[in-house]
Structure 1
Amino acid sequence: MTYRHTMERIAAFGDDALADSDAVGLVEALRAGTVSPTELLDAAIARLEKVDPHLNGLAHAAYDGARARAAQHRRYGGFFDGVPSFLKDNVAVAGMPTMNGTDAWAPSPAAAHGDFARAYLATGLVPVGKTQMSEFGFSAAAEHPRLGAVRNPWNTDHTAGASSSGSGAFVAAGVVPIAHANDGGGSIRIPASCNGLVGLKPSRGRLPLDRDMRQMPLRIVANGVVTRSVRDTAAFYREMEKISAGPKLPPIGDVTGPGVRRLHIAVCTQSIIREASAEVRDATLATAALLEGLGHRITVIDNPVPKNFIDDFVLYWSFLAFALVRGGRRTFGASFERTRLDNLTLGLDRHAARNLHRVPAATARLARTRRITAGLYGTYDALLTPTLAETTPPIGHLDPTAPYEQIIDRLIEWVAFTPLQNATGEPAISLPLAQSATGLPIGLMFAAPVGHEARLLELAFELEAAQPWPRLAA
């Protein structure tokens, strides 16, 4: 695959209705009558058309439907009524195709909203379209051989992360203030880290899943959003809780600022297989020092998760690919053509085919990982790690046309911290608390016991105030 080199910083912030406001700020402007939903949508479309030729984050445009919805402001209700947004291209949205980051079959529009889109849009958000992702969400970079690479607005030579790549790129670049993302191995937190955003993967069961994701043997996927501010993320979960609360989870409630209680926080810079790079490790320890200065108690620990976790997670990931590849025509229709799938998807399929007899035991071990973290949270209130083991790589590092062995080895090296919470079902949030020597964002990740998103949001509010992160609008 041939890649062009651009070395550009791309942003669309300007003197229009969106300005540099976050979603809560836009709600305040709408209520004050200083902007209208149509003005916000027009600004979002203009910004999208400005940056997408550089970022390649759009999977499907839905301008007509968005304009009709914006024109009927107040009909839909919801806190975010009139605020433009995007959904990721792996959930069902009425009238839009769902292509899962590939072009391996002929697209057709969904007849109805899936469970997640129904709840998401009940908050009042206006869907401008769908965002691009890596093929089936398997890679941490979206670089499809025919659909092209989704690029990082901080430096378009670099990946925007994945799988929620288009959402991350568009929110960072200012197209919209909030966009849907989901996470089956880090896909909210990875693009949040790469693009300098807030990305909270909630507890298992916190938000609705579409049927295909509910049917997984182990529900590793969680829906959420990426935003530029902590208050947007907190407001989103508050509003979603009114629409579709997880019945077995403690409520998050209305988190609006830092918590009072000082926490005992474990800090780990070692992934399951390796130490983070020196730059990422130093950023993590600097954040730990900041927390200590804020009165929190810090203890550095070794990683308690056994190395076989990686093999088990890759095998489970492979089994999901196997089901999609082997059941492609049944799932996606007669036009499905497996030869159009990328080398990562096909390599995962082959890996599963060779090891099907090991899948049940691997899945059971992944489900038991929560016993390890339960012990950890018996001592500590939260866990701080890097979000990713290295700084954001250039386009081509995870080239999906490369040999499978190269792709999977590089993935395992880079995405070494995030899969743990997908197995355990625990919440984790990536915050853009550092920058690399080359000016790219570095995310730091905080995790907590199941049901304790409020603790993470309170900590995020405190850190945002103590050390505000840079944004492309600046």
Structure 2
Amino acid sequence: MAGLAATGAIGLPHAAAGHDDDLAALDATAQADLVRRGEVKPAELLEAAIARIDRLNPALNAVVASFYERARRAAAQPLPEGPFGGVPYALKDLLDLQGTPRTAGSRLLARHVSAATSDIAARSMAAGLIVLGKTNTPEFALNASTEPLLFGPSRNPWNPGRSPGGSSGGAAAVVASGMLAMAHASDGGGSIRIPASCCGLFGLKPSRGRMTGSRQSDAGVDHCLSRSVRDSARLFGWNQRQDAAAPLAPVALGADPAARRLKIGFSSQGILGHEPAAAVKAALEQTARLCAGLGHQVVPARLPVEGELFFRHFMVAWSAGAARAVQQARTERQDPEAVLEPWTLFLAAHARAQAADAGQLAGAYFAEVARRFDRFFTDYDVMLTPVVDDEPPELGHLGPDVGGPQMWDRLVKYVAYTPVHNVAGTPAMSVPLSMSPSGLPIGSQFSARVGNEKTLFDLAFELEQASPWAQRRPSLR
């Protein structure tokens, strides 16, 4: 990762070693630099993070499992030769970490303890990250708001009555509040980008098959949520697949904006043809003007997908996991109605009602969408759209007690911009460039051709310099 400077990220202060508030203001790269220089010990970073979690988490409900003694033992050991030596970190409660709970936000798995560690978690710890806990997620990551019945809702640090997004909502609340500088997140339909937008963070979804432990057939992909672009870029560089069977060549990233000007397609419409809320549309138009002012060519464009047909097939894929959860409950002789949420049961019922060839037809359609997007990005370097169609919703709007048909209608409208990139396999990022008149963050989504994360990171570095966001923080009491 040569070229990614270790100090002085745009808008980020240097810390006076040992001061918790100063440490909380630093990104993960700067924290690791203090450890490398011997100005702060890993144990000091860890204890400061634990103190912040103990102070802030009761109000936000973002951390749902803690492994402090395990983390203390790790902090006392020699650090790996990775880019984030000694930096505290949390995993989303979907990843396995041997000997720790993994519930996926579900009462079905409330007593589950992982027998092994996932590849992406092991690789991240090899970067020097010290895992101290797990973050909240909706049941089986099937919702765009983090309000599981098992643990209760996570709250948005900018307004505790609002959702932090989902399904990586706990991770977003952890980072936005300053409990941690960076946290693991995953994205199967927008679950990195949506919480990033809701909580004012940077969140990039890598290309399909890009990261350690992922396959080219996976719609979901793992990465992180961070406050700085360089943290995301460094971890991306470390965690990307570099084995002989990797479907994409590794990306070399620098920290300087590229000189090349881009042709950026622009649309505020969701794939169903509707316009977003006024605050979102105004924010997106502001972002388009910013890009044009930086010399990029911004032109109207439409993504090559039909919304109703897309969501009909996406529902098949979305519901398949819920059907497996129902089957698991029955295999374990548990009543699905007692251990699974209404939304999961609704999706499972939808899956059972499908024709035998529904999955095959959906797969063929998704392959065609991927081909269309590949052709689209021969004409455009980047596409700019909203992340979601409105400000972060009030808790309960996408809550576990909302009826299935109403929940589906609300979700499809809200997330009309993100899952197309999981299906197409294209990289996409939410950049925290705007705030609504009511004081809530609004992200702007940029996407690019499969494998072209470098274009997105280069643009993100430029936007971070042109319109810094690091000092914009929620007021927490």
Q: TM-score, normalising length from structure 2?
A: 0.91
CA distance in 1, matches of 2:222, 2:183: 11
Aligned to 1:435: 435
Aligned to 2:422: 422
Aligned to 1:468: 468
Answering whether residue 68 of structure 2 is matched by residue 67 of structure 1, we say no
Aligned to 2:48: 43
Q: Which moved more, 1:309-318 or 1:353-362?
A: 353-362
**How far 1:329 sits from its partner (Å)?**
5.2
Aligned pairs for 1:164-183 (under 5 A) are: 164-183=168-187
Query: What letter corresponds to residue 57 of structure 2 in structure 1?
Result: D
Contact 1:145 1:401 in 2 (8 A): no
Aligned pairs for 1:150-169 (under 5 A) are: 150-169=154-173
Query: What letter corresponds to residue 60 of structure 1 in structure 2?
Result: A
What SS class does the counterpart of residue 24 from structure 2 fall into? coil
Answering whether residue 27 of structure 2 is matched by residue 22 of structure 1, we say yes
Aligned to 1:220: 219
Aligned pairs for 1:4-403 (under 5 A) are: 15-16=19-20, 18-74=23-79, 76-209=80-213, 218-241=217-240, 247-273=246-272, 274-307=274-307, 308-328=309-329, 330=331, 333=332, 337-357=336-356, 358-403=358-403
Cα deviation, 1:92-123, whole Å, max 9, x if unaligned, reads 11111110011224423222212221111111
CA distance in 1, matches of 2:243, 2:412: 34
CA distance in 1, matches of 2:280, 2:253: 32
Answering whether residue 425 of structure 2 is matched by residue 449 of structure 1, we say no
**How far 1:473 sits from its partner (Å)?**
6.6
Aligned to 2:10: none
CA distance in 2, matches of 1:461, 1:205: 24
**How far 1:348 sits from its partner (Å)?**
0.4
CA distance in 2, matches of 1:77, 1:96: 25
**How far 1:337 sits from its partner (Å)?**
4.6
Aligned to 2:8: none
**How far 1:245 sits from its partner (Å)?**
8.4
> Relative to structure 1, is the Cα distance of residues 246 and 424 closer, same or farther in structure 2, using a 3 angstrom cutoff?
farther
> Relative to structure 1, is the Cα distance of residues 87 and 354 closer, same or farther in structure 2, using a 3 angstrom cutoff?
same
CA distance in 2, matches of 1:130, 1:97: 8
Query: What letter corresponds to residue 278 of structure 1 in structure 2?
Result: A
Stretches of structure 1 that go unaligned for 5 or more consecutive residues are 1-12
Query: What letter corresponds to residue 30 of structure 2 in structure 1?
Result: G
Contact 1:171 1:228 in 2 (8 A): yes
Q: Which moved more, 1:189-198 or 1:200-209?
A: 200-209
**How far 1:356 sits from its partner (Å)?**
3.9
CA distance in 1, matches of 2:445, 2:97: 30
Query: What letter corresponds to residue 76 of structure 2 in structure 1?
Result: A
Cα deviation, 1:199-248, whole Å, max 9, x if unaligned, reads 010011111237xxx5x9x5110000000000111111122248768723
> Relative to structure 1, is the Cα distance of residues 320 and 367 closer, same or farther in structure 2, using a 3 angstrom cutoff?
farther
Stretches of structure 2 that go unaligned for 5 or more consecutive residues are 1-14
Q: TM-score, normalising length from structure 1?
A: 0.92
What SS class does the counterpart of residue 430 from structure 2 fall into? strand
- Give the % identical residues: 41
What SS class does the counterpart of residue 258 from structure 1 fall into? coil
What SS class does the counterpart of residue 18 from structure 1 fall into? helix
Aligned length: 454
Query: What letter corresponds to residue 27 of structure 2 in structure 1?
Result: D
CA distance in 2, matches of 1:142, 1:247: 32
Contact 1:383 1:448 in 2 (8 A): yes
> Relative to structure 1, is the Cα distance of residues 415 and 298 closer, same or farther in structure 2, using a 3 angstrom cutoff?
same
Query: What letter corresponds to residue 305 of structure 2 in structure 1?
Result: V
What SS class does the counterpart of residue 152 from structure 1 fall into? coil
CA distance in 1, matches of 2:240, 2:369: 27
**How far 1:320 sits from its partner (Å)?**
2.0
Q: Once superposed, what is the RMSD of the aligned Cα atoms?
A: 2.0
Cα deviation, 1:20-46, whole Å, max 9, x if unaligned, reads 000011111111211110000001111
CA distance in 2, matches of 1:257, 1:107: 47
Contact 1:206 1:246 in 2 (8 A): no
Q: Which moved more, 1:333-342 or 1:398-407?
A: 333-342
CA distance in 1, matches of 2:334, 2:85: 38
Contact 1:172 1:471 in 2 (8 A): no
What SS class does the counterpart of residue 156 from structure 1 fall into? coil
**How far 1:170 sits from its partner (Å)?**
0.3
What SS class does the counterpart of residue 430 from structure 1 fall into? strand
> Relative to structure 1, is the Cα distance of residues 246 and 37 closer, same or farther in structure 2, using a 3 angstrom cutoff?
farther
> Relative to structure 1, is the Cα distance of residues 181 and 336 closer, same or farther in structure 2, using a 3 angstrom cutoff?
farther
Contact 1:267 1:384 in 2 (8 A): yes
Query: What letter corresponds to residue 313 of structure 1 in structure 2?
Result: F
